[in-house]
Structure formats: C-alpha cells, structure tokens
Amino acid sequence: MSGSSATVETDPTTSDGPLSPDGPQAPDGPLTPEHYDELARAKDRIKPIRRAAGVAAFNGWTIAIIAALSLPFAVLGWDGLLVSIGLFIVAYFEFRGRRQLLKFDPGGASLLGWNQVGFLSLIIVYCLWMLFGGTSDIENHPELSQFLGTAGKELYRSLVITLYGSVIVLSLVFQGGNAIYYFTRRKYVDAYLHETPQWVRDFQRATAAN
C-alpha cells in the first residue's frame, strides 16, 4: 500500500520542533525590549561617574603610598608627623568619596573636590614652611654654610626657592584640576538619578565594583 507523507517544515535554526506559523517567537524572560533599552541608556549615563571613581581610586592609592613612604621622616620632627597624618587623611577621604560615587551619591563628587582643595592647601602650607620657616635655611648648618661660601649659599637658596615654587605651581595645576574635575562630576550623578528608573539604579548599584 502506498501513500504520501506530509512534510513538516522546521525552523532551520533549531531542531526542537516545528516552525510556528506566526514566525520565530522571542524567548520568555522578565525583561522586555524597553527594559534593555533603559539599561543601555543608563550604562551610557554611568560612564562618567565610574571614570571619576577610577580616578579617585588611583589618587587614593597614590597618596596612601606617599603617606606610607613619609612615615620614616615623621620621627625626625613634628612637621614630618603632621605631613604624614595629613596625607593619610587625604587618602581616606579619597576612598570614601569613591565609595559614595559608586553608590550614586552626589555628595561623593563634592567630597572628592573639597578633598583635593584640602590636599592642595596642605602642599602649599608645607612648601611655604620649608621656604620661610627656617627648616631649609642653610644658616642652621654652620659647617655647610662655611663650606659653600657666599656664592654657594645664594645658589642653594635659589635652588630651594625654585624647587618649592615649582611644587606649588604644579600642585595648583594638578590638584586644582582634580578638584574642578570632581566638582563637575556632580552634574552627571544628578542627571543619572533624575533620568534613571529606580529598578535600574538598584541593579547597577548592586553590580558596581567595590
């Protein structure tokens, strides 16, 4: 006995079953295409915030290392001790501001900005103390002063002024620039909070790096 068999059209991309007459079906899941679009937009909004957090991490570790390296000099006098303590405080607030940024707290940007202003003030005060407080005055070292003579002492003083003056200028550029950079990040945090739904903020806060 002969007969014809019906051919069942299958989906070429899968072997799980026949092709639906309505076309390929989207996989079931809790998120809609609109949700994915919202996540993509939020990802773009968060980029400046996470970049600022990365800058804060770099600054924090750099300052902490400098603070640790300055500890041996802290035993030489109270001025060295104060500098070491000040550096550790700056490093602490740099990390604290970073954590606030990763939690999308606008106050984190302001904290980081003022922290850089404080760091700049610490550097300037230290340099001025070294220039005018007598610490670097060669007259405090009679033997060296006698060895260098008048011309040598003038050269030494010029070098000291150049050194600490350069540190002040460079600090105004770098720490001042960092402060401006951090202060201007606040608008990105505010925009993110205003334009991003709560469920997206919760998701990105949970997945933010610590």
DSSP result, 164-190: HHHHHHHHHHHHHHHHHHHHHHHHHHH
pLDDT the model gives residue 74: 74
Summarised one tens digit per residue, pLDDT across range 11-52 is 444 444 444 444 444 445 576 777 766 777 777 788 999 999
Angle, in degrees to the nearest 10, between helices 142-195 and 78-102: 10
Q: What gap in Å lies between CA 172 and CA 167, rounded to an integer?
A: 9
pLDDT the model gives residue 33: 76
Please work out, in degrees rounded to the nearest 5, the angle formed at the alpha carbon of residue 57 by the alpha carbons of 88 and 37: 150
Which two three-digit tokens encode residue 206?
């949970």
Summarised one tens digit per residue, pLDDT across range 174-203 is 999 999 999 999 999 998 888 788 887 777
Task: Evaluate whether 101 touches 52 at the Cβ level (below 8 Å).
Answer: yes
Closest among 184, 196, 200, 203 to 51, alpha carbons compared: 184
How does residue 152 score in pLDDT terms, banded at 50, 70 and 90? Answer: low
**Residues in contact with 130: Cβ distance below 8 Å, sequence separation at least 6, in sequence order:** 136, 160, 164
**Residues in contact with 177: Cβ distance below 8 Å, sequence separation at least 6, in sequence order:** none
Cβ neighbours of 157 (radius 10 Å): 14
Angle, in degrees to the nearest 10, between helices 33-74 and 106-132: 20
Report the pLDDT averaged over residues 5-9: 46
Does residue 4 have a pLDDT over 60? no
Summarised one tens digit per residue, pLDDT across range 73-116 is 777 778 778 889 999 999 999 999 999 999 899 999 999 999 99
Lowest mean pLDDT across 139-148, 154-163, 179-188: 139-148
